[in-house]
């Protein structure tokens, strides 16, 4: 999915959910073993602004708390996305949101 479309998805989701939450749709890495999948989920759940994650088989829907999201949470996500080779484009809108705070 193109970066512009992903940003649009984030914005649209934000408008239709509780105002204190932001949801980010990200593509799961291919060919994860069960153990690696569990490891990824654990690492994502340790992000400072984490609220929830929904496994949609090929994608993950990561829910973050808008009230607690700060630059540190975004740095954690950038690092995890880099480590797991996940497309970082969904994080651009999140970075803009944190900078506006």
What CATH code is carried by the domain that includes residue 35? 3.30.70.100
Domain that residue 38 falls in: 3-100
Strands (DSSP E) contained in the chain are 21-27, 50-55, 59-65
Residue 53 pairs with which residues in a beta bridge?
62
Q: How far apart are CA 63 and CA 70, in angstroms?
A: 14
Gap between the Cα atoms of 7 and 88, Å rounded: 11
Would you place residue 100 in the very low, low, confident or very high pLDDT band (cuts 50, 70, 90)?
A: low
Q: Quote the distance between the C-alpha of residue 71 and its chain's center.
A: 14
Instruction: For residue 21, name the pLDDT band (cuts at 50, 70, 90).
Output: confident
Q: Looking at the 3D structure of the chain, how many domains does it have?
A: 1
Q: Share the mean pLDDT of the chain.
A: 82
Q: Output the CA torsion 38→9→17→60 (10° steps).
A: -10
pLDDT confidence of residue 78: 93
| Residue 16: pLDDT over 70 | no
């Amino acid at each position: 999915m193109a970066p512009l479309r992903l940003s649009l998805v984030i914005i649209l989701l934000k408008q239709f959910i509780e105002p204190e939450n932001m949801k980010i749709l990200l593509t799961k890495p291919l060919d994860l073993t069960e153990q690696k999948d569990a490891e990824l989920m654990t690492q994502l759940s340790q992000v400072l602004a984490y609220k929830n994650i929904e496994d949609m088989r090929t994608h993950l829907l990561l829910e973050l708390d808008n009230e607690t999201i700060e630059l540190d949470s975004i740095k954690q996500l950038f690092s995890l996305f880099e480590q797991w080779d996940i497309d970082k484009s969904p994080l651009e809108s999140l970075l803009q949101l944190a900078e506006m705070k």
